[in-house]
Chains A and B, each alone.
Chain A
């Protein structure tokens, strides 16, 4: 058993729902107990969709367990087929139904429905949401995608029409998938490349059947589409992109990569690129961002991209980097080496919380869950990855990808930080009754009491063999709030390394001289 305060991913059948709901004409029959229909709200409320997800639940109850739950499942499939007339059907079980083992695949086969029925094996007690989405997409592609017809369109196109690519990965309930897709489509079309199939987003079963006809694939979200892209490569020889266009540098590299796969010169497109992040970040107003200590956590794709942007495009110090996507742990480990830090690969919220407490960053870039941590520790925070809540499915155009995505990122990440002038004044004058360093005034809150002390695990609790003189402790409180934690840690480390038992004013300033800011 794992004590879970917050979970980074839902169960795998929610991943399957994200694929089904993104698509058109595909229905999902889910063997699940009463109550699992809560998942509909993810789509109708959080993503604000205007129709019910194409999911039929068996919603069995305790009294059904004595009877024939398999027959219940079969009649649900039959009814769903008649009522919704889908072009293809997914069938599977949720975690509770997995325990009663009714074999949705076999039962579906016995019904002999006149449409493709794709059984899903999603082990709920081992795997999670993204794996579920990836597996569902892969199973659908395997079941439906056909080899390019004779008279391969790819060959015909070489004589005149431009190259064509598929865009793979965007789903329902994806973090900014809607606008990322629009932004990337714009970049790709600007290169003179045609868009074949976009999937799963708005795709039909017939679209999935045509996946093999494109020249290559663009993978927007490897967590969801990498497995399918690998399979398409093996089966139809389509290469696929590896670069995720989040950040200015990555977007430029992505354009070059895509152009390379299409056999096109990227330089005109790169020359036309309009992006404000580089100038905003170079302008003197941003100087105070230099070396801000940032902790990054999210799915692997967004965490890796955020680390690159934070360090190379905003001039932050990446002091922590981690992911809950175990499938992509290797990439995170490699990146952590380049920043000289320990990677954090975990889906345990409490471990992430302990790490943030230990590192005392000045900014947390994470998921909705890191907002809880940041609130508790009083640290500014911005959301860069799923899981996210309703406010991260905004009405306005808000991509993360491409050049406009970089503009959005600049604004979003800088916003929660104390602005420069206020930060300076707080460093000078500590006794103002209106302005306090616990709450930036541009966010409009009254300064609040710092959160109550919390019980941190022993490993990171302050060591007790070093004491502070009252004078030094007082001086410490003159250091602005957001770097105070780090100053305390550094001073104690400095004292311990030199076997100084009592920290005085002198020790504090000795440590400051030793470590710098």
Chain B
């Protein structure tokens, strides 16, 4: 039996859709890539990858186009002698961390980030993090998570990172008033908008994970309700539930509909009067709808094919289909978390084909055969598809752009209209 597998259509039960599960070559990033945005969000954190030259090369190829006076990430590259014996490797790691912290006294939180090589040789970074924390606390806390390709795909690196933060969050007192925790790295401007919105809804105790500084970790406990801002946070959600926090099920805040559903889920939990909710959000919803409507004429009826990348594909497909009138040819996702995506799946048009996992050559065959108007894909595929006269929207941008919330709904639509508008403009 060919272990790369025939694409097997397995009957999934979500929203009546069949989900195609595929295995084969996956053209995706590993979780280490999360460092590229996480290091900007948490200003006093440092990310030390324990890996090979390949890992170092990945991060600098992604981030090195920016010129850094002081980057907040680095790699401890394992060498031949580190592979020989594990005790030695631990001593080496301690030496490298001491060297790093001497150079960067401003660092308050250090993540030891596991990679494929460190996982395969089973270097125990969680014990190393404990050992180093004991040595460097209270100045520096050392945590550990894995961003390896064998275990994590792209945005799952953020999930692993945030999940590692959950156990060190302070605990709320039993009598604490109910609080809301928004989980998932958001652009600063989006975070500020949501903070204002929750305040005007009357939810006063709102915190964000990750925080902008390591010193601002919010307390959690049995009275904490958490709302996921991103669809790729399975492990973080589980870790929060283990701390007694309660998940608020909601669609993801992409587009006007998603944002409304997301806010309403929180408002319901906090017992906000629906009339008040309506009063606070009506003008914002209408403004968001006007902004999205500008792009609808260019996008309605266009056929879009989404390659798997970040797990944001399903909420995105829901937005493109329902608010922009696009036809979804296929929405691929590297991993389908049915529970967290329940609300988005329920809103998807019934005829959408979904795929989980990838066999990139077969998927390209399907894509070429379908001749979509727009392909959402990674940068390894984008230019080659453009050269085949297929319009593409590179997917990584959706992680690096403020797209959540009412005020960004129009910007999100514009991201998809832009490549088509560009093709209309260029004469040569």
Contacts and interface: CB of A to CB of B under 8 A. Distances in A.
Interface of A: 1-7, 9-11, 13-14, 33-42, 44-46, 48-52, 56-62, 64-65, 67-68, 71-72, 75-76, 79, 83, 94-96, 99-100, 124-126, 128, 350, 368-369, 371-372, 375-376, 387, 389-391, 451, 454-455
B3 A11 contact: no
B170 interface: no
Contacts of A6: 56, 60, 64, 71
Contacts of A60: 150
Given A5-B74, A52-B381, A375-B68, A42 B148 contact: no
Contact of B28 (A11, A34, A100): A34
B2 interface: yes
Contacts of A350: 103
A96 B52 contact: yes
A68 B2 CA distance: 11
A209 to B, nearest CB: 28
B96 A11 contact: no
B26 interface: yes
B93 interface: yes
B61 interface: yes
Contacts of A59: 24-26, 149
B178 to A, nearest CB: 38
B75 A7 contact: yes
B140 to A, nearest CB: 15
Contact of A58 (B25, B68, B78): B25
Contacts of B150: 33-34, 60-62, 64-65, 96
24 contacts: A4-B76, A7-B56, A10-B53, A13-B54, A34-B30, A35-B28, A36-B54, A38-B58, A44-B384, A50-B383, A50-B386, A52-B381, A59-B26, A59-B149, A64-B150, A72-B4, A95-B52, A96-B120, A124-B53, A125-B52, A369-B64, A389-B64, A389-B65, A455-B102
A40 B57 CA distance: 12
B89 interface: yes
B83 A390 contact: no
Interface in B159-181: none
A436 B3 CA distance: 65
Given A72-B4, A79-B4, A34 B74 contact: no
Interface residues of B, number: 69
B216 interface: no
Nearest to A44: B383
Nearest to A124: B52
A33 B71 contact: no
Interface of B: 2-4, 24-33, 50, 52-54, 56-58, 60-62, 64-65, 67-71, 74-80, 82-83, 89, 92-93, 95-96, 99-100, 102-103, 105, 116-117, 119-121, 148-151, 153, 361, 378-384, 386-387
Contact of B380 (A1, A52, A389, A454): A52
Contacts of B24: 59
A1 B48 CA distance: 12
A213 to B, nearest CB: 34
Given A1-B92, A44-B384, A125 B26 contact: no
A72 B3 contact: yes
A455 B105 contact: yes
Nearest to A381: B67
A1 B116 contact: no
B57 A10 contact: yes
B116 A96 contact: yes
A11 B74 contact: no
B32 to A, nearest CB: 7
Contacts of A455: 102-103, 105
A85 B322 CA distance: 43
A60 B148 CA distance: 11
A44 B2 contact: no
Which 6 A-B pairs have CB atoms at the shortest separation, nearest pair first? A35-B30, A35-B149, A40-B380, A50-B387, A96-B116, A95-B52
A75 B2 contact: yes
Given A37-B380, A65-B150, A95 B75 contact: no
A33 B25 CA distance: 10
A273 B38 CA distance: 54
B68 A68 contact: no
Nearest to A80: B361
A355 to B, nearest CB: 16
A242 B236 CA distance: 58
B96 A3 contact: yes
Contacts of A454: 70
Contacts of B30: 33-36, 38
B380 A371 contact: no
B62 A76 contact: no
A79 B24 CA distance: 10
Contacts of A35: 28-32, 58, 116, 148-149, 153
B64 A40 contact: no
Contacts of A71: 3
Contacts of B53: 4, 7, 9-11, 95, 124, 128
B29 A38 contact: yes
B25 A51 contact: no
Contact of A1 (B3, B54, B69, B96): B96
A391 B66 CA distance: 11
B26 A37 contact: yes
A41 B61 contact: yes
A1 B95 contact: yes
A455 B61 CA distance: 26
Max chain A C-beta neighbours (<10 A), residue from B50, B119, B149: B149
A43 to B, nearest CB: 9
